[in-house]
Structure 1
Amino acid sequence: MSAALLIVVAGLALLDSLNPATILGVGLILVLPSRHPVRAALAYVLGAYLTVLALGVGLYLAADAAVEVVDGGLVWVRRMAFGLAALMLLRSAIRRLRPMRRTQVVLPAWFTPWTALPLGAVVTAADLPNAFPYAIAIERLVDAGVAPSAGLAVLAGYALVYCLPCLLLLIAGAAWGDQVRHWLHKLYNRFGSAREVPRSLPAALGLGVLAAAVAGIAVTA
């Protein structure tokens, strides 16, 4: 496995780690009233890690098998990765064409440190269709002919990098609780409270053009 491949996969993992849903979950646990917030946040991140790792292992093994069984299987893996990215961008573009009412973000009433792990798994799984860098990273591993054991180790590292912002936020919350909670409260008041989001034609147009460009890559890949 070359250093260049590891750098590419690490870059994709860092891009993928900027996942608002998972990061927001950790922030909510730290800022909203809950029992043992640090312990619950750690369980939440563990649930996210296991979900990302499980999905990656499944996709990697399936893609590796497709390459060996189907002629041109790797091309279809690549097309699926870019096609998924185009669909997610198109969905975002359509949503910006109309105003939206966003409800207040709160923790569910049944939330405890014991239920934090499955909640982290569910929230992360629901947002994984946006994780097209993951599919691209897996395609790169398969294309390079990486041994399965090494590929699985890389995916374990990818999942860890995916959770890195959450872990850093968790560490900061444990070390500097009051300061971090004060900062999180400001963010929560701005983004977590109920509000109206107006439509934005420029944003929709920009996302639509980007979706078309990525779709073009998917077709010609």
Structure 2
Amino acid sequence: MSTALLLSVAGLGLLDSINPSLFIAQFILLATPKPTVRVIAYILGGVLAYFVGGVLILSGFNLILEQLLTRIQPTVGYALVIVLGVVLFIFGLRVKATSQPDAAPVPLSLAPIHTFFLGIVLIGSEVTTALPYFAALERIAQAELGLLASVVVLGVYNVIFALPMFGFLGAFLVLRQRVLPYLERIGATLMRWSARLMKWASLLGGTALIAHGGLYFLTGTPLF
């Protein structure tokens, strides 16, 4: 395990941590009453998802998954796509997006366990654009350190990745009285618009998936 590898992985982790989506969600949570525990749970959820995903990839799980997917019949896969589309569509129908300019939707739950899973979901949604993450995994794999040492280096990546979010939380706790009024107003606006975006993204995405799988069964050619 070389110092150059650690510095390279740490740099990639720092680059990956500059993600607006992750900070926007944290910003919203900070605008809620007594946010410390739920924000920590949110950060830990995202870090755990990154860490477990990296361990699975480094241990060769991705190769096993690819082999399993090649054995699944196309009809089964497209049926699952339709099911996912229906779930997304129903979720979009259930999301309440207020049209009142001064009212922000209240999250269904602010329990730490739910913000923990929020971190996992956000990391999952961002994984396709997480180029520094996959670059770090590639460098770790190329170093041929063995699984245990690779996991340690991956842990370094995740610690660096989490530091800015913990730093943001620490700055908020120090400056809470000064910034809280602004956070409440900005957070309300973000929550209102994020609810609307989530609703329509779920409805449109669900419709597209249903059409994608449905056309396959009707014509033999999927939508995309």
Settle same-fold status: TM greater than 0.5: yes
Alpha-carbon contact 2:56-2:62 (below 8 Å) kept: no
Question: Which whole-Å CA distance do the structure 2 matches of 1:43 and 1:144 have between them?
Answer: 32
Alignment of 1:124-203 (within 5 A): 124-182=123-181, 184=183, 188=187, 194=193
What's the Cα RMSD here? 2.9
Alignment match of 2:47 (pick from 46, 49, 52): 49
Question: Which whole-Å CA distance do the structure 2 matches of 1:189 and 1:113 have between them?
Answer: 20
Offset of residue 187 of structure 1:
5.7
Offset of residue 106 of structure 1:
5.8
Alpha-carbon contact 1:27-1:169 (below 8 Å) kept: no
Residues 64/116 of structure 1: CA separation in 2 closer, same or farther (3 Å cut): closer
Q: TM-score if structure 2 supplies the norm length? A: 0.60
Deviations 1:78-107 (Å, cap 9, x if unpaired)? xxxxxxxxxxxxxxxxxxxxxxxxx89866
Identity %: 29
Residues 189/150 of structure 1: CA separation in 2 closer, same or farther (3 Å cut): same
Offset of residue 20 of structure 1:
1.7
Alpha-carbon contact 1:29-1:37 (below 8 Å) kept: yes
Match of 2:15 in 1: 15
Letter in 2 for 1:50: L
* 2:66 pairs with 1:60: no
Question: Which whole-Å CA distance do the structure 2 matches of 1:62 and 1:39 have between them?
Answer: 35
Letter in 2 for 1:54: V
Q: What secondary structure sits across from 1:163 in the alignment?
A: helix
Alpha-carbon contact 1:52-1:124 (below 8 Å) kept: yes
Question: Which whole-Å CA distance do the structure 2 matches of 1:107 and 1:173 have between them?
Answer: 21
Q: TM-score if structure 1 supplies the norm length? A: 0.61
Offset of residue 185 of structure 1:
5.1
Match of 2:26 in 1: 26
Rg larger in structure: 2
Point out where structure 1 has 5 or more consecutive residues left out of the alignment.
Answer: 67-102, 196-221
Residues 174/162 of structure 1: CA separation in 2 closer, same or farther (3 Å cut): same
Runs of 4+ in 1 over 3 A off after TM superposition: 63-66, 103-107, 182-195
Alpha-carbon contact 1:28-1:106 (below 8 Å) kept: no
Q: Which moved more, 1:38-47 or 1:113-122?
A: 113-122
Offset of residue 194 of structure 1:
4.1
Letter in 1 for 2:10: A
